[in-house]
Structure 1
Amino acid sequence: MIVKSWFTAKLRADILEKKLKKLSGKDKYPGKICIVVAEQSVVRACRALDRANQLADLVELRLDYLSRPKLAELRPRVKKPLIVTNRLSQEGGKFKGNEEERIGFLKSALELKASFIDVELASPPQYVDELLRNRNRVKIILSFHNFKKTSSFKELQSLLDQMIELHADVAKIVTLARSWLDNLTILNLILYARARNQKIVAFCLGEKGKISRLLSPLMGSEWTYVAWADNKKVAPGQWSLRELQEIWRRLI
């Protein structure tokens, strides 16, 4: 009860702060929006990137969706901070090649100076270490995705601690919500990360997890992911940009 009461009070305080910012015209939305571009063809990806440049704070390019990833051709199209992802198949990825090839595209993203590279904590350690060593000014997102459940807070805390020990620039932890209470677990994890001075993106998947995608920026998550159109959603429970903007307008 104490944790829930504190959580409610903290959430109300953050919402009030965001309301005041909006009224003063300093903050249009209560968090950064990352538009996910997941297209099979380069032509469609270019069209989506052009749209995302106009509307997003950040853009995530999912290389694993492209039938022929051509990052060198697509990189100049992105005018906003770019996250390059080539998702591991066990965590929802579509890439058909082997692990060396998959990581090779992320190495190319280093050379092309993407803003962020998302690599799964479950990737072979030697590849994770190599990306971390050679990051230079590119920021590394160490990520974890569980499409089956939300583990206990203690287990997720342990995962986050591993990411902190590896010096992740951003930790990303995403889990499936089987109950509404799973959202509280994830939102409390954000507060734990903030107390450790660790940047984090965390939310729940699925219908029961949709609320966490709305609330996580208010609790300190770096950004929230949206589809650039209603028919372009790539994860369970994902909002489109239009849906998210409409809900935030009503809440704030």
Structure 2
Amino acid sequence: MPPSSPSPYLTRHTRPDRPARRLVCFPHAGGAASFYRPWARYADPSLELLAVQYPGRENRFREPLVPTMDPLAAAVADALLALPPVPTVFFGHSMGAAVAYETLLRLEGAGACHVTRLCVSGRSPDGAARPAVRTDDEVVEAVGSLGGTHAAVLDDPDLRELLLPVIRNDYHLIDVYRRRADAPLLHADVHALTGDRDPQVTPGEAAGWSALTSGSFTLTVLEGDHFYLVPAVGRVARAAMEPARPLPV
């Protein structure tokens, strides 16, 4: 009997009867849970692969968008705290890295210790400094500068009209977000990944995540731009799916 459906914030891409471990993936700005569906092919039978589904896209298309970090991270944390605790890894790309970090702060603040590793991709701890994006053309230009699938999709007028409100919302969310300077150190290990030609984050900036944890830190630099993880999907997915360290007894 497959497990019951989780919160609408969570989409299951694999359904082991008795998951021994879990990977939770957080999409980038304008992204959706389906971005991580191809990762299922790299999962072993014991791994439950979940992707966060932000409101306003795919199966949550009719729901209001969430324009700020605090209510979004709180809602995702509540959804995850309702699941049985198994050794868990978070993976977040770009905006998703910040959402994953904020969600993990809330889980650890609630006493949860089963998330043993945070993988942050394509983002420094404090993000890229950039001017506020205002017009539709500026949104399209910003998306195009990063590569990825949205750049080509936005050439289609119908898809552009559909996607622009979501992308604009997420750009606003991440532009106004500021990491708390007094946030506690994470207990989880941190693995930062980035492309060597990412216009938003250098390898040195990605290494700044090391200051945010009392656990171990690893930095991986792969060939590519901001969406280096698309051509390198197998390598990145396998790195995120490496077994987490055992839970404390």
Q: TM-score, normalised by structure 2?
A: 0.36
Higher relative contact order (CA 8 A, sep 6+): 2
Q: TM-score, normalised by structure 1?
A: 0.36
